[in-house]
Amino acid sequence: MPLLSESDRQTVRAHLAAISHRVTLLFFTQTFDAPETVMLAKQVVDEVASLSDLITIEEVNLILDRERAAQFGIDRVPAIALLRDDEDTRIRFLGAPAGYEFTSLVEAAVLAGTGESGLTPESRALIAERATDTVDIKVFVTPTCPHCPRAVTLAQRMAVESPHIRATCIEATENIDLAQRYRVTGVPKTVVEGTEVEVLGAIPEDAFVTAVLGEPSSGSEQD
């Protein structure tokens, strides 16, 4: 049974029509001792893939194919990595992209399938200037947070813009160990691995890009 109504499916299908490259959703799963959210995540990726002929799913068993999982930095399920024409886009999801995060997965598929970040010239110039080494962005979310997709998509746009940037959307309630490690008390919370950068809430593009690249900022829209 589809997750979306027929009218919503038509809306998403029209949005995905912008895709011009093959997009692969690498879906990391396991057969035994899998969290209940693995089934939900599978329903979500199936739904998205059903709405575009250019989107396919490749399942990777975390236990049986540890080498492939390690290649994409995946150590838990459910998880999703997006490829464009078999090339890594450095866009990741840890946890089921359900609720409001369904939108984030759809946007990620469009970004992967077009290769266009959609960022302003100012943001693109700042990324070219400052993202000269690895920038590992983690955005913590929950499915009920209406502001979270904005932060997730901005991080993903940055990953599309620079080969040095990785963007991972982390469902906080499914990944409690990570939420505790990064002291997540509200969402969205964006952190940059290996730095003291923290961005709280959903903030405008210019402030977000500037903060992620080294100038922390706080926002007002937070759950």
Instruction: Note whether residue 219 is domain-resident.
Output: no
* Domain end (from 60, 89, 114): 114
Instruction: Note whether residue 184 is domain-resident.
Output: yes
**What pLDDT does residue 33 have?**
87
Q: Centre a 10 Å sphere on the Cβ of residue 164 and count the other Cβ atoms it contains.
A: 16
**What pLDDT does residue 222 have?**
61
Calculate mean pLDDT across residues 86-109.
97
Instruction: Note whether residue 189 is domain-resident.
Output: yes
- Could you give the number of structural domains in the chain? 2
| Residue 60 sits in the same domain as residue 127 | no
What CATH number is given to the structural domain containing 41?
Answer: 3.40.30.10
| Residue 77 sits in the same domain as residue 147 | no
pLDDT above 60 (res 216): no
pLDDT above 50 (res 91): yes
**What pLDDT does residue 114 have?**
98
Instruction: Note whether residue 160 is domain-resident.
Output: yes
| Residue 180 sits in the same domain as residue 105 | no
pLDDT above 60 (res 217): no
Which residues are registered as beta bridge partners of 83? 24, 88
pLDDT above 60 (res 220): no
Domain of 140, in residue numbers: 121-212
**What pLDDT does residue 215 have?**
57
| Residue 45 sits in the same domain as residue 140 | no
CB 194 within 8 A of CB 125: no
**What pLDDT does residue 2 have?**
76
Calculate mean pLDDT across residues 89-116.
97
| Residue 104 sits in the same domain as residue 184 | no
* Domain end (from 84, 114, 144): 114
Per-residue pLDDT reduced to its tens digit, 17-62? 999 999 999 999 998 888 999 999 999 999 999 999 999 999 999 9
Distance CA 132, CA 123 (A): 14
| Residue 12 sits in the same domain as residue 95 | yes
**What pLDDT does residue 1 have?**
66
For the full predicted model, state whether its pTM sits above 0.85: yes
Q: Centre a 10 Å sphere on the Cβ of residue 128 and count the other Cβ atoms it contains.
A: 11
* Domain end (from 58, 91, 114): 114
Q: What is the chain's mean pLDDT, rounded?
A: 95
Instruction: Note whether residue 87 is domain-resident.
Output: yes
| Residue 128 sits in the same domain as residue 54 | no
Instruction: Note whether residue 1 is domain-resident.
Output: no
| Residue 169 sits in the same domain as residue 150 | yes
Under 8 Å CB-to-CB from 10, ≥6 apart: which residues? none
pLDDT above 70 (res 92): yes
**What pLDDT does residue 5 have?**
94
pLDDT above 90 (res 10): yes
| Residue 19 sits in the same domain as residue 92 | yes
Per-residue pLDDT reduced to its tens digit, 159-204? 999 999 999 999 999 999 999 999 999 999 999 999 999 999 999 9
Please tell me what DSSP assigns to residue 141.
Answer: E
